[in-house]
Amino acid sequence: MLDIAMFSLAADMAQKTGVGGVVDYWVRVGATYAQRIGTENFVGWPQFNIATNERRTSLTVEGPVRVLTDMAITDRDGGEIVGYVYALTEDPMVAVYNRWMGIMGQAIPPIDQQILDHYNENVRPTAVSSFDPCIQTFREQSASVLTVGGSQLDCLHIAARSRMGVRRLYEPSLKILNLEERYIVSLLRDHMTVYALVETGKFDLTGYVKANALRSS
């Protein structure tokens, strides 16, 4: 019930604070969510990936996350594995959309599109649903308090696909990780979100805008 009530709440808040204010709130909720779940430490990438497959990490609370083991990320020398690419088969917002349409019998309220448009125009062009400001912030903040083999992690959002098929690939991530666009698009056939977890400091993240880098409120 709470999930589909979000549209009513968002529309009400947008009237009082503007759409930017709603985005601010959602970003803050994403950060709070990650902070409240807390820190995690893993001995190494194999242990972390097993825990991910078994849904025992903070990053799997949103749903099952698939470890793309053929997409291990190595450091510049090509020797050491410093990260992996991960993908979700379903975005948490899909259930909300389905329930709204099935229970209310109506199209998704316009506030959903207004929120994601505002985020894409004012923060970074990665949102495909109004919940993305929250969930993308959550992933990045959760990753930042995870350690694998003693190293902190950065979460780099790569791509997302909406329920209606809109695809958004984040160019800075493709460049930083040297990923082929064709391959990411092919991943989006079976997945709705693709992101990478890499050890902090191994890549120059110039050009990558964080999910909570709000430039307007």
Residues of this chain that interact with other proteins (CB under 8 A) are 1-9, 11-12, 16-17, 21, 25-26, 28-30, 32-33, 36-37, 61-63, 92-93, 95-96, 98-99, 102-106, 109, 131, 134-135
Q: Which is nearer to other proteins, 101 or 185 (CB)?
A: 101
Task: Write down the H helix ranges in 145-209.
Answer: 171-177, 181-190
Q: Which is nearer to other proteins, 82 or 128 (CB)?
A: 128
Q: Which is nearer to other proteins, 30 or 83 (CB)?
A: 30
Strand-strand pairing, 193-199 and 151-161 = antiparallel
CB of 91 closer than 8 Å to CB of 129: yes
Q: How far is the CB of 70 from other proteins (least distance, A)?
A: 27
The SS3 call for residue 131 is coil
Q: How far is the CB of 133 from other proteins (least distance, A)?
A: 11
Report the length, in residues, of the chain: 217
Q: Which is nearer to other proteins, 45 or 119 (CB)?
A: 119
Say which DSSP state 101 is in: I
Q: What tokens were used for 85? A: 């690419």
